[in-house]
Amino acid sequence: MQVPLLDLKAQYATIKDEVLKQINEVLDSQQCIGGPKVTELENKIAELCECKYAVGMSSGTDAILASLMALGIGPGDEVITTPFTFFATAGCIARVGAKPVFVDIDPTTYNINPALIEPVITKKTKAIMPVHLYGQVADMDPIMQIAGQASLAVVEDACQAISATYKGKKAGAIGTCGCFSFFPSKNLGGIGDGGMTVTSDEDLYKMLVWMRNHGSEPKYYHKYIGGNFRLDPIQAAALLVKLPHLADWSQMRRKNAAFYTKKFKKTVIQTPVIADDCELIFNQYVIRVPRRDELVRHLQANKIGCEIYYPVPLHLQECFAYLGYKAGDMPEAEKAAREVLALPIYPELTDEMKEFVVKTILDFYK
Ligand SMILES: *Cc1c(COP(=O)(O)O)cnc(C)c1O
């Protein structure tokens, strides 16, 4: 048996006709930039997130980049974030000319440890960027409290956590703004790149709309320097077909996660810790294991897909050497990078596939 980490074809087969119909509507209208599909998706995502506004963006990365630009963050500024995330989080901070300042993670949730934030705040700090890793919202209450006291913006990198909740609040709707990715492997994935920023701040919303379109308002009058960060209407059309399924798909991921977690009880395999009052969407199901790299080879030999998110914490990436961090500075992130492993969790996994994954892993540790 083969068990891929993700099987997009299985999902596409269930919605193919509707996706093609929606894409055809865009093509027939020849409204190839912006238009009603983009607006409809923005309205629906704003509603889903319980936010006033949503601005479609060309990717999750551009959603983050445009948010930082819209907040006026640039050279001389510092943004506090986690080193245990996808590169884009800190990459965008550096791209606007600001300095990423890393603090270590909470080893149980892998999210930024709020207790470590205050000591690194300086006069230059402008924002905190928590990441909701694997589909679990970071501990936002203390983060919002610290940000409030120091008058900092909070940009949520919610790229892996659309519709996840924290104490009844939606991911992306807790901070100043929240950024989503529609990369195909995300819970709500397009048929290419796409993203969105949500906010309830009207001024920020206007800035985001300007930044998305070269800072122009009206056309050809540029008060700000923005970029082309527009969401493609063909992506919006496909996403509108997928959105009504998001709750069910995330529920199936939670069911798969519960299955694994039960089977791995009382073994050496550490399963994901779900913080109180959080509902996860399991964009990834990540275990923590001894002899991780040997297990990877064992799974590969058995044709089971798996992935390490992420093998090198950002403070140790070559491109960030200029920041002056060294090995040992973020011990929990570094330890996690050596021990974590994501298993297949996608909604369409069959019982036989899950049983095979469990059996193959338990056999390895026998
Ligand atoms: C996917 C992801 C991004 C970037 O999204 P793209 O749409 O691929 O640009 C940023 N941050 C995190 C945490 C992500 O998982």
Q: What pLDDT digit, counting tens, does each position of 199-245 carry?
A: 999 999 999 999 999 999 888 999 999 999 999 999 999 999 999 99
Pocket, ligand 1, Cβ cutoff 6 A: 59-61, 85-86, 88-89, 131, 157, 159-160, 181, 183, 193, 195
Domain range summary for the chain, segments of one domain joined by +:
8-102+110-244, 245-365
Taking CA atoms only, the protein residue closest to ligand 1 atom 2 is 159
The pLDDT tens digits of the residues spanning 284-327 come to 999 999 999 999 999 999 999 999 999 999 999 999 999 999 99
The answer regarding whether domain 245-365 maps to CATH 3.40.30.10 reads: no
Q: What's the CA gap between 79 and 101, in Å, rounded?
A: 6
Residue with CA nearest ligand 1 atom 6: 60
Q: Do the domains at 8-102+110-244 and 245-365 have one common CATH topology?
A: no
Rounded CA-CA distance 359/260 in Å is 11
Residue that is written with structure tokens 């082309």 in the block: 228
Distance 365 CA to ligand 1 centre (A): 33
pLDDT tens across 110-161, in order? 999 999 999 999 999 999 999 999 999 999 999 999 999 999 999 999 999 9
158 Cα: distance to centroid of ligand 1 (angstroms): 9
pLDDT in tens, 11-23: 999 999 999 999 9
Q: CA 25 to CA 35: how far, in whole Å?
A: 12
| Atom of ligand 1 lying closest to residue 88 CA | 10
Fold that domain 8-102+110-244 belongs to in CATH: Aspartate Aminotransferase; domain 2 (3.40.640)
* Cα 38 to Cα 236: distance, rounded to the nearest angstrom: 5
Ligand 1 midpoint to CA 29 (Å)? 30
Rounded to two decimals, what is the model's pTM?
0.97
Ligand 1 centroid vs 60 CA: distance in angstroms? 5
Give a three-class secondary structure readout of 205-271. Answer: HHHHHHHHECCECCCCCECCCCCECCCCHHHHHHHHHHHHHHHHHHHHHHHHHHHHHHHCCCCCCEC
User: DSSP label at 304?
Assistant: B
The pLDDT of residue 187 is 97
Residue 217 confidence (pLDDT): 87
Instruction: Please name the residue whose Cα sits nearest to atom 5 of ligand 1.
Output: 60
Is residue 218 reached through a cis peptide bond, with omega within 30 degrees of 0 on the bond before it?
Answer: yes
159 CA → ligand 1 middle, Å: 5
pLDDT at 203: 98
Cβ-in-10-Å burial (0-12, 13-18, 19+) of 21 comes to exposed
Q: Which amino acid belongs to residue 80?
A: I
Per-residue tokens: 230: 């527009």
Atom 7 in ligand 1: residue holding the nearest Cα: 60
C-alpha span between 174 and 157 (Å, rounded): 11
Ligand 1 centroid distance, CA of 67 (Å) = 14
The number of the ligand 1 atom at minimal distance from the alpha carbon of 133 is: 13
CA 73 from centroid of its chain's CA atoms: 21
